[in-house]
Amino acid sequence: MSIDLHCHSIVSDGALTPAEIVQRAQVNGCTLLALTDHDHTGGVAAARLQATQSGITLINGVEVSVSWRGRTIHIVGLNIALEDERLQTLLQRLRSGRLQRLQSIAEKLSKKGISGAYEGTLALATNIDMVTRTHIADFLVNTGHVNKKADAFRKYLGDGKSCSVKHQWAELTEAVAAIRHAGGIAVIAHPMRYDLSATARRNLFSDFKACGGTAIEVHSGCSSLNDRLNYALLAQQFGFLASCGSDFHRDGDFGGGLIGCCPPLPPICQPVWTDFS
């Protein structure tokens, strides 16, 4: 099986439509796929229609924005019931805060001599209520203020950088509870990408476990074999299931992998998909 349980479409900050995501995954040999747009499940129906035609098994998914001890982390929900009112109410609340964050970031950029960020970024977002830092980075690249998106995050948008704006997303406990209420499995997305000390990482995993979290991504994007081995051991230590995902947004994006093409999990892992009903 070729499995990818983390990717994004134009419904959040990806470049392809949900149908195109499924088509690309099929071309790359994927057999089990989850569309996990940020704080939005609006693309899953179109993805499922294409998956039926393409012979791919599609898992309902979402990636929930979470504030944990002053940091932003992401929790993927897999195998969720899309109609669950509790989950959808939470996702709607998270989407409504994105425009406010964009305005605050645009004001900081203006003080740096970069004008027009609010309007310019909105013009790049397919869904206005789903504007993300990736869209702001695209604006900075398009206007020549940075050469590539990675530079936008390193200089302006990354946590703690000059134009970063702390935003209160969902609490870890409420995000996990909402995913579980929708019958889903909660997964810590790309844990290797958070700038955490060993102690902070243990605290995150312990808090996640205590509130009902089930799995972590042992592979994400372009993670190395060493990452996969280390996080496989951590999954075993904490009793987590293991997930994998390309975190695909668009071709050539930093941090993302090839959609539908994740390496095999280390043998000690218990795959998260064994719990899918």
pLDDT category at 1 given cuts 50, 70, 90 is low
Provide the sign of the torsion angle of the four alpha carbons 240, 179, 224, 146, taken in this order. negative
Which range has the worst mean pLDDT, 38-42, 160-164, 208-212? Answer: 160-164
- In terms of CATH architecture, what is 98-157? Orthogonal Bundle (1.10)
| pLDDT for residue 254 | 67
pLDDT category at 125 given cuts 50, 70, 90 is confident
Per-domain residue ranges of the chain: 3-95+171-275, 98-157
Higher pLDDT, 277 or 85: 85
CATH superfamily of 3-95+171-275: Metal-dependent hydrolases (3.20.20.140)
What percent of the chain has a predicted confidence (pLDDT) above 90?
86
| pLDDT for residue 275 | 85
pLDDT tens, 138-152?
999 999 999 998 999
Rounded Cα distance between 71 and 61, Å, is 23
| pLDDT for residue 9 | 96
Average pLDDT over residues 70-76: 95
pLDDT tens, 231-272?
999 999 999 999 999 999 988 876 789 999 999 999 999 999
pLDDT category at 128 given cuts 50, 70, 90 is confident
- The maximal CA–CA distance of the chain, rounded, in angstroms, is 53
Rounded Cα distance between 175 and 57, Å, is 25
| pLDDT for residue 160 | 86
pTM for the model stands at 0.89
Q: Please list the alpha-helical segments (H only) found in the chain.
A: 18-27, 44-54, 85-96, 98-111, 117-122, 133-142, 149-152, 172-181, 198-210, 225-238
> Is residue 52 predicted with pLDDT exceeding 80?
yes
